[in-house]
Structure 1
Amino acid sequence: MAGISQRKRIWGWYFFDWATQPFHTLLLTFVFGPYFAGVAAEYFMTSGLNEQAADARAQSIWSLCLTVTGLIIGFGAPIMGALADTAGRRMPWIFGFSGMYVIGACALWWTFPDGSTMWPMLIAFGIGFIGAEYALVFVNAQLPSLGNQAEVGEISGSGFAFGYVGGILSLIVMLLFFVEQPNGRTLIGLSPVLGLDAGQNEGTRFVGPFTALWFAVFMLPYLLWTRDTRTAPRGKGIGDALGLLFKSIKNLRHRLSLSAYLGSSMFYRDALNGLYGFGGTYARLVLNWELVSIGVFGIIAAISAAAFSWIGGQADKRFGPRPVIIVSIWVLILVCLTIVSMDRQQIFGIPLPEGSGVPDAVFFVCGALIGGMGGVLQAASRSLMVRHTDPKAPTESFGLYGLSGRATAFMAPALIGAITALSGSARIGVSPLIALFLIGLFLLRWVRAEGDSETWTVSSR
């Protein structure tokens, strides 16, 4: 890394968040997810279901996709981290999973509005999502090398804030030049650019290739400035990697704080991912918003996320990550209670006049809080993990962190799918997220604010 300053390394690391954020902003939450939900609901209505049943079925198959990919990510991430640590290299893995990201995103172009390609497109989305999450394991593991314990909270928060700015700009570009309104025009009254056919939703479907292109271009600063921080190999092959992983899991019995933290984050991050995965589909299926409205909602949420992530980083630097996490979870619990208690006819049981704009205004506020507190929660969580990290095997440590965040990643979508199916309501289906947040909050009682990284030496004997 001769000739590359620490400041450049940090900025290169920030650019990974900038490059990858559109997968979450454009594909998971605000454009492709709601578009897919609308396509699926229309398909099921043409098959004979009424609107409420079709909406519930659409949400159920979206939850199935997130459940399956969550299982694959959860059980694969720690193995991938251990493999990288035994070899002492990370960049080859980042390259490989970046390829999955690009292939999966590009393929979403073929999500036709008649619903004929629903299942292949769910598979394509899953491939891209798995690639994005696996690459993140290795990139997160570079955080300890970018600063000391007093600095990593601010670096983590700034990285998330920078990434959210990228998400905002990518969403603005899509809304201004590509995503069609019902009249076939974009937000500024243009036909979708590049000669795309609004009648076939080609402007909206371009979100997949656009996300892949954005990633390919903006990964360049990361690849140029954030080189591999090689460590001495600790073995080779999958056997040694699994041995290292099982040893790490076994040693958790000596580390109450880390064990409690991994358990806590397993639940509250799963709930947060559930909000991200179903916020846009809720707006589409429950509030009947058009994609452009969901996109504007996304811009507000992303701006809030960028601002709050930076503020959260400063709060982390002053108070530490644990109190920042606690405040964020309580705010998100209140948001979930509001969402579950509201539809177009009422809010908290209070009837609303027909055509009332109250649900729309309230959900815009909820979106700002989801984006803002979600960004703060993710940044502070990454910072607290650094305080529990083995400096000799950071990828292995963040593999365990990835496992805690993804081992039950199937739970939120599976519970949402089950409750949606049982209740026949996409609104009520979101309610399990409240319980997941509360469990995560309860387990934080046993987490040390300063972490327990010093116990690695003892537990590794």
Structure 2
Amino acid sequence: MAETSDDKALRKRIWGWYFFDWASQPYHTVLNTFIFGPFFVAIAATYYLNQGQVEGIADANAQAMWAWTTALIGLIIAFSAPIFGAMADSTGRKMPWIVGFSAMYVLGCGALWFTAPDASNLFWMLAAFGVGFIGAEYALIFTNAQLPGLGTREQIGKISGSGFAFGYLGGVVSLAIALLLLVEQGNGKTIAGLDPLFGLDPSAREGTRATGPFAALWFALFMIPYFLWVREVRTDQIRSSFSAAAAQVITSIKGLTNRKSLGVFLIGSMFYRDALNGLYAFGGVYAKLVLDWEVTQIGVFGVVAAIGAAIFSYIGGFADRRFGPKPVIAFAVIVLMLVSLTVINITPTTIYGMTVAEGTPDLAFIVCGILIGGMGGMLQSASRSLMVRHTDEDNATEYFGLYGLSGRATAFLAPLLIGIVTTITESARLGVSPVIVLFLIGLILLAYVNKNGDHET
């Protein structure tokens, strides 16, 4: 059967939608997890060392600072995202919001260039990181809300999985470029043995700092296909006020009492996605503080992990179509629990308390990283697909705002628990252990979620 013009337009729109994941992924891979996050924590540790703290305590306090910051950002996102979503649904427009939050992304990333290696502007750079992170998360909520209009319920899982796979591939490419051409090692060279591009000064960590503007330029460039190919229908709906949107969100939350499956899913996903975000946020930090890896080593590890994530996300999309999203989520959560248990039992010389050959802990951590990336990709993709089964296109942004709320309402919890346990144990390694409990709670609640959503099948 010949492809119609409508089919071609839809295919182009789907590919445009994929490009958002490709464009935005560097914030999570290059900045949050593998390059800037560990770099920032190393600076923060130096700050505490200069205050006279011993190394272990300084490392723990640096990790706690990062934890408290990500917790605060999560709270800001959590309680405002559904309101903005309701406002967008009431007007029928998503694009203006996506443009605005994209601008926040670019400005926040670009400002990271000014991070001072001597930690003299530490808190200003934390604020800049927060601006970019908020922009990235809000834009994601609004683009996620476009997913129901891209295919049938049976097709959504594959589309979601392919989008995540394409995004992770973008993360791999951007991270590889940053490592090969920008980020300096201890010898002042990139991992390709080159001087950082544009005459950047390794002693001032300009190559690493340049990853901020690099992520901003990457996003601006690859959002072009998105804005060209993803169109929305203009409507004559009346613009909603902030107060009216807030009232609508409150009504929707109260209405969850009549939508038991959606309510349980939002609460359950709140815990397991928070645990996953905790692993993402602290994976690179853990490698830096516990295994004493260089930032470039962490970056190479990130490339390998992101490749695994891309592959598993793509496979997960087909598994979603074959078995549905719920079994895929359960499988991913169980694997992530086992991996988390293994991670906290890895030290520079031992695994589960047993002394092993030199280099074996590093190899084990790399394998764990591949599984975290891979299962994380499957988990996010399948969760997005299961959310589509619980919503309608007319109120997609509001409900994906609630989905964002569920993913961020306790976004402070993983960093908070990690911060508390790190402070009590004075160990960056043991500090990551609370994520296992969060995964377990999410898995238990998933059992009470209807695999087909609240709608009749």
Q: TM-score range by the shorter chain?
A: over 0.9
**Residues 18 and 164 in structure 1, CA contact (< 8 A), matched pair in contact too:** yes
In structure 2, the partner of 1:73 is 77
Q: Which amino acid aligns with 1:117?
A: N
Counterpart among 337, 340, 344 of residue 340 in structure 1 = 344
In structure 1, the partner of 2:444 is 442
In structure 1, the partner of 2:263 is 259
**Alpha-carbon offset, residue 358 of structure 1:** 1.4
- Counterpart-to-counterpart distance in 1, 2:146 and 2:393: 10
**Alpha-carbon offset, residue 267 of structure 1:** 0.2
- Calculate the aligned-residue CA RMSD, in Å: 1.5
- Counterpart-to-counterpart distance in 2, 1:101 and 1:278: 21
The total of aligned residue pairs comes to: 453
**Residues 346 and 365 in structure 2, CA contact (< 8 A), matched pair in contact too:** no
In structure 2, the partner of 1:408 is 410
- Counterpart-to-counterpart distance in 1, 2:6 and 2:154: 25
Question: Are 2:160 and 1:160 aligned?
Answer: no
- Map 1:90-105 to 2 at 5 A: 90-105=94-109
- Counterpart-to-counterpart distance in 2, 1:84 and 1:18: 24
**Alpha-carbon offset, residue 340 of structure 1:** 1.1
Q: Which amino acid aligns with 2:389?
A: R
- Map 1:132-281 to 2 at 5 A: 132-230=136-234, 233=237, 236-281=240-285
Task: Specify every segment of 5 or more residues in structure 1 that has no aligned partner in the other structure, as ranges.
Answer: 456-461
- Map 1:112-151 to 2 at 5 A: 112-151=116-155
In structure 2, the partner of 1:109 is 113
**Alpha-carbon offset, residue 411 of structure 1:** 0.6
Give the alignment's TM-score, normalised by structure 1.
0.96
Three-state SS of the structure 2 residue aligned to 1:219 is: helix
Q: Which amino acid aligns with 2:390?
A: H
Counterpart among 410, 423, 426 of residue 424 in structure 1 = 426
In structure 2, the partner of 1:364 is 366
1:396-417 CA distance string (max 9 Å, x none): 1111111111111111111101
**Residues 274 and 438 in structure 2, CA contact (< 8 A), matched pair in contact too:** yes
1:99-118 CA distance string (max 9 Å, x none): 11011100101111111111
In structure 1, the partner of 2:11 is 7
**Residues 87 and 234 in structure 1, CA contact (< 8 A), matched pair in contact too:** yes
Q: Which moved further from structure 2: 85-94 or 151-160? A: 85-94
**Alpha-carbon offset, residue 47 of structure 1:** 1.9
1:332-359 CA distance string (max 9 Å, x none): 0011101111211322122346xx2111
- Counterpart-to-counterpart distance in 2, 1:3 and 1:302: 31
**Alpha-carbon offset, residue 264 of structure 1:** 0.6
- Counterpart-to-counterpart distance in 2, 1:258 and 1:227: 29
1:84-139 CA distance string (max 9 Å, x none): 01111111100111111011100101111111111110110000000000111110
- Counterpart-to-counterpart distance in 2, 1:352 and 1:17: 39
Task: Specify every segment of 5 or more residues in structure 2 that has no aligned partner in the other structure, as ranges.
Answer: none
In structure 1, the partner of 2:316 is 312
- Counterpart-to-counterpart distance in 2, 1:349 and 1:236: 59
Q: Which amino acid aligns with 2:413?
A: M
- Counterpart-to-counterpart distance in 1, 2:282 and 2:93: 36
**Alpha-carbon offset, residue 210 of structure 1:** 0.2
- Map 1:277-356 to 2 at 5 A: 277-352=281-356, 356=358
- Counterpart-to-counterpart distance in 1, 2:18 and 2:423: 40
Three-state SS of the structure 1 residue aligned to 2:447 is: helix
Give the alignment's TM-score, normalised by structure 2.
0.97
Percent identity between the two aligned chains: 60
**Alpha-carbon offset, residue 454 of structure 1:** 4.8
- Map 1:6-25 to 2 at 5 A: 6-25=10-29
Q: Which amino acid aligns with 2:350?
A: Q
